A and B are shown apart, each in its own frame.
Chain A
Amino acid sequence: MSAKKQSLTQCQSLLVFLSDFIDGTLNDDLCQEITSHAAECEHCRIVVDTLRKTISLYHECADEQAEIPGEVRSQLFKTLNLQDYLEP
């Protein structure tokens, strides 16, 4: 097998572990394998970095969207017949 083919196979085989790698739930041996591979393989380094960035951007947005809009809350309380618990 050529070096290029070997590397492609390794890229594909490591792909399935990327979520656990980014979430910090992957075992040390596989973490080490991904880190070493990404140090040699520019495409995989970019995939790891941009995947991590993708997840962190969604986390950041979610934190800002945790509040329900006031009018939605009011309507919800009315529909549930709880309007007497709706503080002004």
Chain B
Amino acid sequence: MSEGKSEISIEALRRGDRGEFARLVDAFSGPLYRLALKMLGNASDAEDALQNTFLKAFQYVDTFEGRSSLSTWLYRIASNEALMMLRKRRPEINFADSTVEEEDERNYAPVQFTDWCCLPEEEYLSAEARKAMDRAVEHLPETLRIVFVLRDIEDLSIQETSQVLGLSETAVKTRLLRARLRLREELSSYYGDRLNKRSKE
């Protein structure tokens, strides 16, 4: 998020200044909606998560102590909201579960070795390719997906991601690498097929 958005006055928000709330919504709704959409995979749920995020932000702005940035605080609310909705769909999800870090790293060892970096540019972001990219994100376990979305889609640093999720930086790095390796495998399947098809044409 751009620096300009940090000019929002916490004092005005605490006073209940509605104009300042409207500025806050305009400054952060784009990225927070994108996060919800990537986490939940459908527009209707993402819209609900976005509304709940701001309702909670308004309700709890008094508790914001300024130890983290406003952006980190909002991302924390939005991430919790999305994870809570996912938990309603599948109650067995346990985000704090550290078995994801303890899992054997060989499970993430690369198995696809097609070099698809030489495809024509128009192949990479075609409508079909974008769907394959979205599907790959949806296939990630939630515990990896949230880390990937915060770091690589929302462009938060490792430190900010760890603050948002209440995880150590080491745990964030482990989850991020595993998410990226999984996505590479899926994209290698898709773009590898495209490469084969083009070579036959």
Contacts and interface: CB of A to CB of B under 8 A. Distances in A.
Interface of A: 12, 15-16, 18-20, 42-43, 46-47, 49-51, 53-55, 57-62, 65-68, 72-73, 75-77, 79-80, 82, 85
26 contacts: A12-B109, A15-B108, A18-B177, A19-B180, A20-B173, A42-B113, A46-B115, A47-B110, A49-B117, A50-B114, A50-B184, A51-B180, A57-B125, A59-B155, A60-B125, A62-B34, A62-B154, A62-B155, A65-B37, A68-B33, A72-B33, A72-B43, A72-B47, A73-B26, A76-B29, A82-B21
A38 B19 CA distance: 55
Which of A18, A43, A49, A68 is packed against the most chain B CB atoms within 10 Å? A68
A83 B161 CA distance: 32
Interface string B88-131: 00000000000000000110111001111100000011000010
B5 to A, nearest CB: 12
Determine chain B's interface SS by DSSP, over half rule: helix
Given A15-B105, A19-B176, A50 B116 contact: yes
B122 to A, nearest CB: 13
B186 to A, nearest CB: 9
Interface string B1-41: 00000000000000000110110011001110110010000
Interface of A is mostly: helix
Contacts of A65: 34, 37
B183 interface: yes
B173 A12 contact: no
A16 B180 contact: no
B188 interface: yes
Contacts of A76: 25, 29, 47, 50-51, 54
A38 B110 CA distance: 14
Nearest to A85: B22
A73 B54 CA distance: 12
B138 interface: no
Given A62-B34, A76-B29, A15 B109 contact: yes
A68 B30 CA distance: 5
A82 B25 CA distance: 10
Contact of B34 (A16, A19, A66, A85): A66
A53 B117 contact: yes
Contacts of B26: 73
Given A58-B133, A58-B183, 17 more contacts: A15-B110, A16-B105, A18-B181, A20-B173, A47-B110, A50-B116, A50-B184, A50-B187, A53-B116, A58-B152, A60-B125, A61-B125, A61-B133, A62-B154, A65-B37, A72-B43, A80-B58
